[in-house]
Amino acid sequence: METKQNSWKDASKKNIRQLAYWTGGWVVTMAIASFGQKYFWEGNTVLSIIFIFIATLVGIGMILMNRKYINSLDEMQRKVHIEAMAIALGVGVVGGLSYSLLDQANVIGFDAEIADLVMLIGITYLIATFVGNNKYR
């Protein structure tokens, strides 16, 4: 029984660790692709393309790892994450489009950036996961 428990927990921990590595890798490669062209190789399109390509490849790896992680969860944990993803997607689409319209109508005094939308989706997903976990506690 101990071995069975450990193997399930170990597999779960391993998936979380791998997802963290892929996410960290994606953030780093995105940062290099983003700030590199600004501070290190200004005007060098070839280097920009190479690093954007690398960041995209690592991003695809992160997406696949996230799918593996979600599939490795038990059915209640999966339900919590699916509900959180549904809320995050909805808030992202509705909030993002409203934000863009505010920019187009010149209601806000700055440009609507995609990074704001990514943060909104991320924070919504975190809160929805936290609330979902508490609901079943």
Are 136 and 80 within 8 A, CB to CB?
yes
Q: Enter the tokens of residue 72.
A: 């490795």
> Closest CB to other proteins among 31 and 86?
86
Q: Contacting other proteins (CB under 8 A), which of 38, 45, 75, 115?
A: 75
Stretch that binds other proteins, among 23-31, 59-67, 94-102, 129-137 (CB under 8 A): 129-137
> Closest CB to other proteins among 12 and 56?
12
> Closest CB to other proteins among 48 and 77?
77
Q: Mind giving me the DSSP string for the chain? A: -HHHHHHHHHHHHHHHHHHHHHHHHHHHHHHHHHHHHHHTSTT-HHHHHHHHHHHHHHHHHHHHHHHHHHHHS-HHHHHHHHHHHHHHHHHHHHHHHHHHHHHHTT-SSS---HHHHHHHHHHHHHHHHHHHHHHT-
Binding footprint of other proteins, residue count (CB under 8 A): 14
> Closest CB to other proteins among 39 and 136?
136
Contact letters (x/-) for other proteins, 4-33, by CB under 8 A? xx--x-------------------------
Q: Enter the tokens of residue 91.
A: 């808030």
Q: Contacting other proteins (CB under 8 A), which of 39, 71, 74, 106?
A: 74
Q: Binding residues for other proteins, per CB under 8 A?
A: 1-2, 4-5, 8, 74-77, 79, 133, 135-137
